[in-house]
Chains A and B, each alone.
Chain A
Amino acid sequence: MSWLDANLGRIGDLALTHLWLSVLPVVLGLLVAVPVGWWAQRHPRLGGVLLGSGSILYTLPSLPLLTIIPVILGTSILDPLNVVVVLSLYAVALLLRTAADAFAQLPREVVDAADATGHSTWQRALRVELPLAGPVLLAGVRVVSVSTVSLVTVGALIGVSNLGSLFTEGFQRNYTFEIVTGLVAVVLLALLLDGLWVLLGRLLLPWARTERSAA
C-alpha cells in the first residue's frame, strides 16, 4: 500500500492527462463526423465512398500510426498531439457511420413537416435534424468514449505519459500491483466519462426521456 500512498499524486496527474487525451479526440471526432455524416447521407453516392474509407481508416493499427503521424506532422515523437490526432482519426472513422445512420433514420414525416412549415435547409439541419439525431449520436459517442480511454494507453508505449504508463512501468519492474492499479484507474475513468456523457444527454435531450402518458 505504501507504493499507492507515495504515488497518489502522480496517479492523479496521469489520470488528468489521460482524461484530456480521451475527451479531446471524442469531441474533435464528433465535430468532424456530424457535418460530414449529414452531408454523406444527403449525397448517397459520394457519401458511400466516404463512409467506406472511414471504415478502412479504423482498420489501421494504432502503434504504426503513432510513429508515422509525427513524420507527417513534423511533431516530436513524444508529443501528446500525436496521440490526439490518431485517436481523433479513429473517433471520426467510428462516428461517421453513426452520424450518417442517425440522420438517415429520422422519421420521414417529421422532416417533411419541417419543410412544410418553412424551415430553410440550414434551419432544418440545426433545429430539427441535429437534435433528433441526438440520441443515436449520444449512443455512438459513449462507445467511442470508452474505446478511446482504453486506446490512450497505447500512447504510453511510445512515451506519452498517461495511466497506461503504469502498465509499462509495472511490466518493466515486474510489479503486478502497479499494473492492476493502472487497469482499475483506466476502467474508473472510462465509467466516469460515460456518466458525464449520459448526464450531458439528459440536459440536452430532455424530450428523449419523456414517457407516453394518458392525458
Chain B
Amino acid sequence: MIEFRSVSKTFADGTTAVRDFSLVLPSRTTTVFVGSSGCGKTTLLRMVNRLVEPSSGQVLIDDVDVATRNPVELRRSIGYVMQHAGLLPHRRVVDNVAVPLRLAGVGRSEATSRALAALETVGLDPALARRYPRQLSGGQQQRVGVARGLVADPNILLMDEPFGAVDPIVRDDLQQELLRLQRELDKTIVFVTHDIDEAFLLGDQVVILRRGGEVAQVGTPAEILADPADDFVRTFVGLDKARRTLHVEERAGARIVVDGDGRPAGVLGPA
C-alpha cells in the first residue's frame, strides 16, 4: 500500500507542482494519475521512489515513511518504467534489463538468465537480446523498459507515460500486454498518463488532476463516468463529446450502439 499524506511540492523556481495531496493506493491494484501537462502527476510518481522530495507531507509504503529509507536502496526495490524507455545506450538489451539485478549484487550469469526470462515475459524476441537499444524500434525499446522494471520482481511498479511516445497500434499492443502481465503478476502499479482512454483502460483507481496537483476526482472509471464531480471532469473525460454519449438503436434486427453523432460504435452483445 502506498499512501500520500498531505504532500506538497514547490520547486526551487517557485512553481507549485502539488498542493496538499492525500491518497491511498491499495496494494495489487493499478492507480492511474491522469491530467494535462503541469498537473503534477509525474512529480507525485517520482516522490514514491524519492527522485523528488516533497516540500511537506509524507509518502508511505506499507506504513513506512520513504524519507526514512536510503534512496538508492529504495529505488532498487521499486520498478520504474519511463517515457522513451530510458535505456542505457552503451549496454546491450539483455544487460540493460539485468541492471537492477547487478546493482542488487546478483551474479552475472544468474542476472543474465533472469533478464532473458524477463524479456520473454514481455514478449520480446530473444534474438534481440544481444543488440544495442538504438538498434530497436520505439515499441521494442519500451518492452525492454518494462522488462527492466519487472526483472527484480518488485512489489511496486512506477510507470511514467511509458507508452506516450509510440505509435497508436504499438501502444494498443503494449497496453494489452500490461493488462495481461498485471493479471499474472499482481503488482501495485502507479501509472501516469495524459490520455484518459488509457487511464480508463488500465486503472482500477483513476485520479484526475488539475493544475497544481489538485485532485478533481478519484474513483473507478465507472464511478467517474457515472457521476463526474464537476464540469472540468465532465469535459476532461469527454462526456460533452459525441463519442462518449452512446445509445442503442435497432437496425436490421440487431441492436447497434450509436454515438451522439449517429455514428455506429459497435453492437450490443448478449448480457
Q: Which residues of A contact B (CB under 8 A)?
A: 107, 109-110, 112-120, 123, 128, 131-132, 134, 205, 207-208, 210-215
A107 CA / B133 CA spacing, docked (Å): 14
Q: Are the C-beta atoms of A117 and B51 separated by less than 8 Å?
A: no
User: Which B residues lie at the A interface, using CB under 8 A?
Assistant: 49, 51, 72-76, 80, 82-84, 86-91, 99-100, 103-104, 128, 131-132, 134-137, 140, 148
A120 and B135 form a contact (CB under 8 A) = no
Contact A215–B148 (Cβ < 8 Å): no
Are B75 and A115 within 8 A (Cβ)? yes
Report the Cα distance A169→B6, complex, angstroms: 82
Cβ-closest 6 pairs across A and B: A113-B86, A118-B76, A118-B75, A116-B80, A207-B90, A131-B90
Q: Do A117 and B135 form a contact, CB below 8 Å, given A110-B86, A112-B82, A205-B90? A: no
Q: Which residues of B contact A119 (CB under 8 A)?
A: 72, 103
9 A/B residue pairs, CB under 8 Å, sorted by A? A109-B83, A109-B84, A110-B87, A110-B88, A114-B88, A116-B86, A118-B74, A207-B132, A215-B128
Q: Which residues of A contact B91 (CB under 8 A)?
A: 207
Pair B136/A215 contact, Cβ less than 8 Å: yes
A117 and B100 contacting across the interface, CB-CB below 8 Å: yes
Contact of B103 among A117, A134, A205, A215 (CB under 8 A): A117
Q: With a CB–CB cut-off of 8 A, which chain B residues contact A215?
A: 128, 131, 135-137, 140
Q: Which residue of the partner chain A has the closest CB to B135?
A: A213
- The contact of B148 among A117, A123, A205, A214, by CB within 8 Å, is A117
CB distance from B260 to the nearest CB of A (A): 40
Q: Report B42 CB to chain A, min CB distance, Å.
A: 11
Of the candidates A110, A117, A211, A213, which one forms a contact with B75 in the assembled complex, judged by CB atoms under 8 Å apart? A117
Q: Is the CB of B88 within 8 A of A118?
A: no
Say whether A210 contacts B80, CB under 8 Å: no
Instruction: Evaluate contact between A210 and B140: CB separation under 8 angstroms.
Output: no
Contact A120 B132 (CB under 8 A): no
Q: What is the chain B residue whose CB lies nearest that of A214?
A: B137
State the CA gap A128–B90 with chains docked (Å).
8
Please name all residues of chain B whose beta carbon is closer than 8 Å to the beta carbon of A123 when the two chains form the complex.
Answer: 103
Q: Which residue of A lies closest to B76 (CB)?
A: A118
Cβ–Cβ < 8 Å partners of B131 in chain A: 210, 215
Using A110-B86, A119-B72 as known contacts, say yes or no to A212 and B134 having CB atoms under 8 A apart.
yes
**Cβ-defined contact, A118 with B103, below 8 A:** yes
State A38–B109 Cα separation when bound (angstroms).
32
* A207 neighbours in B (Cβ, 8 Å): 89-91, 132
> Which residues of A sit under 8 angstroms from B89, Cβ to Cβ?
107, 110, 132, 207
Are the C-beta atoms of B86 and A109 separated by less than 8 Å? yes
Most chain B C-beta atoms within 10 Å of own C-beta, residue among A109, A116, A120, A132: A116
Q: Which of A116, A205, A214 is within 8 Å of B82, CB to CB? A: A116
Q: How far is the CA of A94 from the CA of B91 in the complex (A)?
A: 29
- Can you add 7 more A-B contacts, CB < 8 Å, to A110-B88, A117-B80, A211-B135? A107-B89, A109-B82, A113-B82, A115-B75, A117-B75, A117-B148, A210-B131
Alpha-carbon separation in the docked complex, A81 to B84 (Å): 51
Q: Return B162 CB to nearest CB of chain A, in Å.
A: 12
Q: Which residues of the other chain, A, contact B99 by a CB distance below 8 angstroms?
A: 117
The reply to whether A116 and B90 form a contact with Cβ atoms under 8 Å apart is no
Whether A118 contacts B73 by the Cβ 8 Å rule is yes
Which residues on the A side are within 8 Å of B148 (C-beta)?
117
Residue of A whose beta carbon sits closest to that of B102: A127
Interface centre among A113, A114, A115, A123 (most CB of B within 10 A): A113
B86 adjacent to A112 (CB under 8 Å): yes
Q: Do A128 and B88 contact each other (CB < 8 Å), given the known contacts A112-B82, A116-B49, A116-B82?
A: yes
CA distance A109 to B87 in the complex (A): 9
Q: What's the minimum C-beta distance from B91 to chain A, rounded to whole angstroms? A: 8
Docked pose: A118 CA to B77 CA in angstroms: 8
B106 CB to nearest A CB, Å:
13
- Chain A residue at minimum C-beta to C-beta distance from B91: A207
Residue of A nearest to B84 (CB): A109
CB distance from A161 to the nearest CB of B (A): 42
Cα distance A215–B137 in the bound complex, in angstroms = 7
Contact indicator A115/B88 (Cβ below 8 Å): no
| CA of A213 to CA of B134, assembled, Å | 8
Cβ contacts under 8 Å, B140 to chain A: 215
List the B side residues contacting A112 at CB < 8 Å.
51, 82, 86
